[in-house]
A and B are shown apart, each in its own frame.
Chain A
């Protein structure tokens, strides 16, 4: 088993080391400053080495680490090939396919501007997404609990739900005072639908026996709603939130590209205007990292709230 772990560590790290060696020892054909790229390769190697050490200690984590190692290796190889065909052989067409070195330099040259836009995007996303979730749970409770609300609101929800939120963009921009509020509105709208839908569904599928238990224990309607039906819907609500996070993130970027004064979408537009395609790649990398962080946060909260679903007796 520990042989497996050692092997996994070597496999994980060696892809990046190959990419690093290639970058260091094959002469450049393109004019690129390589220091940022090299630093990132070293950082990635160190990161996966450190995670490997964690795998040596934790049995649970080791499984995950070993499973992922081949993919991590492939990541390093892809970087090496990309580097080879761009900065080393100059085969990939510029300016559309810049080398990894050129993309990585953006993080150094423009980190302040990037950070500012990341902050802007995160703020917009948080405000929009949270309002959408709260609105969604609220609507879902009403639909899930009151037959009359369901009759009138549910069809509306179903119809508006399938329309991509950005379709409302032209209206949003004229109705709301700032592009920030307009963006937040669009993100909220697209998070609202799946969350409301799943909340209502989760409540509607509560087993009758739980309501009977609540009644025989002396539980009021309030108790049955907030202590029985709503907790019963939590797993569904989180499915809704997970679905919503992808939609909301897409809407974030699109709405920023269409009219915002800041944010990663805005940054992409701005880079395009200058034909600085390598900056768009940098923005894409940041978006990928940002979105996986968002997913991570959602799943951490989910794991906490739904901890009753997991675990064994003798841990």
Chain B
């Protein structure tokens, strides 16, 4: 279980913003992630969560430091690392079925493996919507399609960038359970970016708390609660209080920015 899959080793990433200022999106970030682990990254906006996911995906390169998966350095995007994007990212010209099949087409294995498409439609509970186009389905359904589209490639790790950010609380809870179910079924390593403390505690083996300016890890918190978790339990609430306090401290640190 605790075999290491991903290693993030002293990673730095700076951007130059529109005013030619240096933004330290990530500063000295180190984190090891085990195979099959469920990790959440939590922190205020601008603390480098998306940047870290993009580095893991290979969509961006670190300024210095090293990221590797299975002992091999990450040099570019690869279907073994699935990505569910923060904004809606389904191809609008493909229906649900075609979107889910996109990974098979992209890898040139569609002919041999197209029978799997229906399995993934079923896996995320979208039977009957195969022929619908993205604008015809709800936001929650769209995110499930995006998840199925990544999972059909059987990735070792799934990178999820606030997939539930834009959903109402009922749909959100629903999708959280779906995600847990998929995680158990497939054993995929999950790396979830979120700004919802409850969500992080409810889902994760470990919660990584990040703080901005510069973007860095301030604490890695193991969640040693049995599953399924009770959001109202004392332990849950205690962890919640702890994380909120950490995040609050972080936000007071950047307060001067707002008072100018």
Task: Please list the residues of chain A having a beta carbon within 8 angstroms of any beta carbon in chain B.
Answer: 209-210, 212-220, 223, 227-228, 231-232, 234, 308-309, 311-313
Contact = CB atoms under 8 A, between A and B. Distances in A.
Contact of B103 (A218, A220, A231, A308): A218
A313 B85 CA distance: 24
B interface bracket (residues with beta carbon within 8 Å of A): 20 to 34
A212 B53 CA distance: 12
Q: Which 4 A-B pairs have the closest CB atoms?
A: A218-B79, A219-B106, A215-B77, A217-B103
A218 B109 CA distance: 11
Nearest to B146: A213
A212 B78 contact: no
A306 to B, nearest CB: 8
Q: Label chain A's interface by main secondary structure.
A: helix
Contact of A308 (B85, B87, B92): B92
Contacts of A213: 83, 85, 89, 91, 102, 149
Contacts of A217: 79, 102-103, 106-107, 149-150, 153
Contacts of A216: 57, 59, 77-79, 81-83, 150
A219 B137 CA distance: 25
A215 B153 CA distance: 12
B258 interface: no
A214 B89 CA distance: 10
A41 B85 CA distance: 61
Contacts of B58: 215
B105 interface: yes
B150 A210 contact: no
Given A216-B79, A217-B149, A312-B136, A231 B93 contact: yes
A218 B91 CA distance: 15
A311 B79 contact: no
B106 A234 contact: no
B89 A313 contact: no
Contacts of A220: 106
B236 interface: no
A266 B77 CA distance: 60
12 contacts: A209-B87, A210-B91, A212-B57, A212-B83, A214-B102, A215-B77, A216-B83, A217-B106, A218-B106, A227-B106, A231-B91, A308-B93
A210 B91 CA distance: 7
A311 B107 CA distance: 31
